Amino acid sequence: MNRIPETEALTKPHLLAEKAARYLYPNYARPDVVLVRGQGARVWDESGREYLDFYAGVAVSTLGHSHPALVRAISEQATRLVHTSNYYYNEPNILLAEQLATRAKMAHVFFCNSGTEANEAMLKLARRHFFERGDANRYEIIAFESAFHGRTMGSLAATGTAKYRQGFGPLGGVTHVPYGDLAAVESVLSARVAGIIVEPMLGEGGAVEAPPGFLRALRAIADQHGILLLVDEIQTGIGRTGSFLATGAEEVRADALTLAKGLGGGVPIGALLTGPHLEAALPKGSHGSTFGGNPLASAAALAVLQTLDEEGLVERARELGVRLRDRLDALVKKSAFVTERRGRGLLQAIELVPQVSAGAVLARLRERGLLVTLAGANALRLTPPLVLTDEEFEKGLSILEETLQDLSS
Ligand SMILES: *Cc1c(COP(=O)(O)O)cnc(C)c1O
């Protein structure tokens, strides 16, 4: 076994950075920071530097880091049963399906391991639904510009940002129209369209909220034309926007809906939730996953849902979201570099003037101990864990405000 003892790796950070550059595939642009530990909304790198985590592994670490409930659930499940494959049922998975179906008011749940897989399943479901009904020519999907649905071929075809699709074509079967533009949706409807895939709020696209009534209007269009409304709540779900589902706030019913990111609190898991009328869309054997819904990930997700309730984290996200909105709105007024604030709950972004690179500001924030992500054209996106304390909220915003203020000098 060619394994560096942990102590050596940690006392010689340069060794890790060198190995990273040498062995890891260079598809990500990342700084030489190796994160080794986390607690709540704080993480530490290998040199012992502390950071405030206002990105939560891209809206994933719902309960922050090392939450005792999550640690306990994973540890206990690991001593019992980690994997079974879907040749047999497993207990935590059944209980999780019940929880999700009940909370989302959907009939059934299919499990996989990531967001893109959940969307892949949803897109396959849409095609197969019409195929099973003898309407195999209905296979096209309407999607939105700047939407993000994942990186596998099917989900990538639905992703509405050209830079993610570039060089991977041909990717077919999807027509993109501007987000929020109902007339554009109507204009591309045809007898070939099977469904509309939509994020209730653009996540990667920069925390762009749907115009009021947009989702409800899409529901009406889908009903009118007998097509499916496919809702991607991979980033917005699990309480992040201040309600369990972002579509819940508008009480819009999806035919099918996907979850991933925050669901497992950091343990990979994805889910496709379907309405009762879609139970024949994917017949036995037509779709599947080896790891999907495994006991370990299911136990983690159960712990996330239980902790959301016990600690009132959905309400917390809503309340912190209001405070975050007010502080960021003030920043828009005060700072010459911030043009706009967008989003709600703990999924918000500020757009910077084109003269200032959001990437450069992100690096400065990191130097001062605050981790955020980029989104949209030139925006900073804030997606802290739902367990963020008042003190951490204050500290994070002070760093953000001071850093933007110091840009003028
Ligand atoms: C992140 C994301 C995905 C893709 O999820 P992965 O787990 O990275 O495959 C899909 N849709 C939305 C809205 C996302 O934010």
Reported as a single tens digit per residue, the pLDDT across 149-165 is 999 999 999 999 999 99
- Cβ distance 305 to 99 under 8 Å? yes
Rounded-to-integer distance, Cα 158 and Cα 116, Å:
10
Q: What are phi and psi of 347, to 5 degrees?
A: -140, 85
The two three-digit tokens of residue 239, written as one number: 């309480």
**Sign of dihedral through CA atoms 38, 381, 215, 148?**
negative
User: Which residues are annotated as catalytic?
Assistant: 148, 232, 261
- Cβ distance 392 to 40 under 8 Å? yes
Atom of ligand 1 nearest to the CA of 152: 9
Q: Is 102 exposed, middle or buried (0-12, 13-18, 19+ CB in 10 A)?
A: exposed
Closest residue CA from atom 5 of ligand 1: 115
47 CB-near residues (< 8 Å, 6+ apart):
13
Ligand 1 pocket, residue 232 CB under 6 Å: yes
Rounded-to-integer distance, Cα 36 and Cα 60, Å:
17
Average pLDDT over residues 246-261: 94
Cα 259 to ligand 1 centre (Å): 9
The two three-digit tokens of residue 137, written as one number: 């020519």
The pairing of strands 108-112 and 50-53 is unpaired
The pLDDT of residue 285: 97
CA–CA distances in Å: residue 48 to residues 35, 71, 196: 9, 22, 47
Ligand 1 pocket, residue 118 CB under 6 Å: no
Ligand 1 pocket, residue 233 CB under 6 Å: no
Average pLDDT, the chain: 96
The pLDDT of residue 10: 55
142 CB-near residues (< 8 Å, 6+ apart):
174, 175, 176, 177, 185, 188, 189, 193, 195, 196, 197
Please, which pLDDT band fits residue 1 given cuts at 50, 70 and 90?
very low
The two three-digit tokens of residue 329, written as one number: 């709105």
What would the 3-class secondary structure string for 223-278 be?
HHHCCEEEEECCCCCCCCCCCCCHHHHHCCCCCEEEECHHHHCCCCCEEEEECHHH
- Cβ distance 99 to 302 under 8 Å? yes
pTM here is: 0.96
Cα 18 to ligand 1 centre (Å): 30
Asked if pLDDT for residue 128 goes beyond 90, the answer is yes
Question: CA angle, corner 56, sides to 202 and 253, nearest 5?
Answer: 40
How confident is the model over 194-237, as pLDDT tens digits? 999 999 999 999 999 999 999 999 999 999 999 999 999 999 99
Ligand 1 pocket, residue 144 CB under 6 Å: no
Strands (E), 145-203: 174-177, 193-198, 201-202
